[in-house]
Amino acid sequence: MSLTLQQALMEGTSRLREAGIETARLDAGILLVHVLGQDREILYRAPEQELSSEELDRFRQLIDRRVDREPVSHLIGRREFWSREFHVDSRVLDPRPDSETLIAAALEFAAGQGPVEKILDLGTGSGCLLLTLLAELPGTTGTGVDISAEALEVTRKNVALLGLEARTTLLQGRWFEPVTGQFDLVISNPPYIETDDIARLQEEVRRFEPLGALDGGPDGLDCYRKIIGQLKSYLADRGMVIFEVGAGQADDVGELLSSAGFTTIRVHDDLSGIGRCVSA
Ligand code: GLN
The reply to whether 215 and 119 lie within a common domain is: yes
Count of beta carbons in the 10 Å neighbourhood of residue 88: 25
pLDDT in the model for residue 42: 94
The reply to whether 52 and 109 lie within a common domain is: no
Number of domains in the chain: 2
Residues in the chain: 280
Is residue 101 within 8 Å of residue 270, measured between CB atoms? Answer: yes
The reply to whether 182 and 236 lie within a common domain is: yes
Q: Of the residues 47, 68, 89, which one is the last residue of a structural domain?
A: 68
The verdict on the CB of residue 188 being under 6 Å from ligand 1 is: no
pLDDT in the model for residue 167: 98
Q: How far is the CA of 192 from the centre of ligand 1 (A)?
A: 6
The reply to whether 145 and 202 lie within a common domain is: yes
pLDDT in the model for residue 108: 95
Ranges of residues in the chain whose predicted pLDDT is under 70: none
50: domain range? 5-68
The verdict on the CB of residue 193 being under 6 Å from ligand 1 is: yes
Torsion sign, CA atoms 132, 137, 143, 145? negative
pLDDT in the model for residue 252: 98
pLDDT in the model for residue 90: 96
User: Which residues are CB-contacts of 227 (< 8 A; sequence separation ≥ 6)?
Assistant: 122, 175, 176, 188, 190, 243
CB-count burial class (<10 Å; 0-12, 13-18, 19+) for 275: buried
Which residue has the CA at smallest separation from atom 10 of ligand 1?
A: 205
> Is residue 47 marked as binding?
no
The verdict on the CB of residue 214 being under 6 Å from ligand 1 is: yes
> What interface predicted TM-score (ipTM) does this complex get?
0.92
Query: pLDDT digit string (tens) for 5-26?
Result: 999 999 999 999 999 999 999 9
pLDDT in the model for residue 93: 97
Give how far Cα 223 sits from Cα of 81, 95, 240, 272, Å: 24, 19, 18, 24
Eight-state DSSP code of residue 4 = B
The verdict on the CB of residue 71 being under 6 Å from ligand 1 is: no
> Is residue 192 marked as binding?
yes
The reply to whether 20 and 95 lie within a common domain is: no
